[in-house]
Amino acid sequence: MIDNLKKEIKLPEIIPLFPLTGVVMFPDTYLPLNIFEPRYLKMIDQAISDGNRLVGMIQPKSSKDTDDKLSFFRVGCAGKIVKFEETEDNRYLITLKGLSRFNLISEKINDNNFREGNIGWENFSEDLKINVKSSDFDTLKTTLKKYFKLKNIRVNMDAIDDFKDYNFVDQITMICPLANNEKQLLLETLSILKRKKLLQTILDSYLSEENISNISKH
């Protein structure tokens, strides 16, 4: 099935930015968001009124910085608002569908007190191509189960076995409690095959650290 969002899309040079520490989004993934701050309510209003409905998700480098002095990683991902609901207590519940990663060239706070970014898309042109290829995730799934057990995370293991989406790696990266810089490194890795290898290495390192810790206790 052809993804209509990727057909003949023209990406703008300036988009609103939604900075969230520890949150990354990838092309062809879905990210639900609960919007309640007044400035970000205005951001969503603007994105919808502009017609392109794009929001750029990006991580601040440090959660300790004050809001007016935030510095950002240079790669984020733009998503299109594909679901929108306004609640009785004046919140927006939205869902973004990831379209393409981007390089952040510059950013500024606008008159509505949210950030807008000047964006470069060239390095991630492959993100806009429709990908229907799957891959073999057996080794990764086995490692992932051990990782969830290590972290005492309760998951439906059968659901993991049944997962066949080509971007399994990206979806797992979004939900796993990895370190912020690890998620960012995966986001900045161009190909999904390289992301698969990198995620495997990261998970293996957590398991190796636990094994070393167990040995040292005996």
Does position 81 have pLDDT exceeding 70, yes or no? yes
What is the pLDDT of the chain when averaged over all its residues?
90
Predicted confidence at residue 107, as pLDDT, reads: 96
Flag the least confident range among 23-27, 32-36, 117-121, 156-160. 156-160
Tokens of 96: 């973004």
* Mean pLDDT, rounded, for 43-47: 97
* Mean pLDDT, rounded, for 11-40: 97
Contact 75, 105 (CB under 8 A): no
- Span 144-197, pLDDT tens digits: 999 999 999 998 888 888 888 899 999 999 999 999 999 999 999 999 999 999
Predicted confidence at residue 206, as pLDDT, reads: 94
Q: What counts of helices (H) and strands (E) characterise the chain?
A: 6, 6
Domain boundaries 4-128, corresponding CATH code: 2.30.130.40
- Span 195-217, pLDDT tens digits: 999 999 999 999 997 655 554 44
Domain boundaries, the chain: 4-128, 138-216
Tokens of 34: 């609960």
Contact 107, 116 (CB under 8 A): yes
Predicted confidence at residue 2, as pLDDT, reads: 45
* Mean pLDDT, rounded, for 37-42: 97
Question: Any bridge partners for residue 5, and if so which?
Answer: none
By C-alpha distance, which of 50, 46, 39, 52 is closest to 99? 52
Give the DSSP per-residue string, 126-189. Answer: GGGS--------HHHHHHHHHHHHHTT----HHHHHH---TTHHHHHHHHS---HHHHHHHHH-
Does position 132 have pLDDT exceeding 80, yes or no? no
Flag the least confident range among 1-10, 47-56, 209-218. 209-218
Tokens of 161: 């076995």
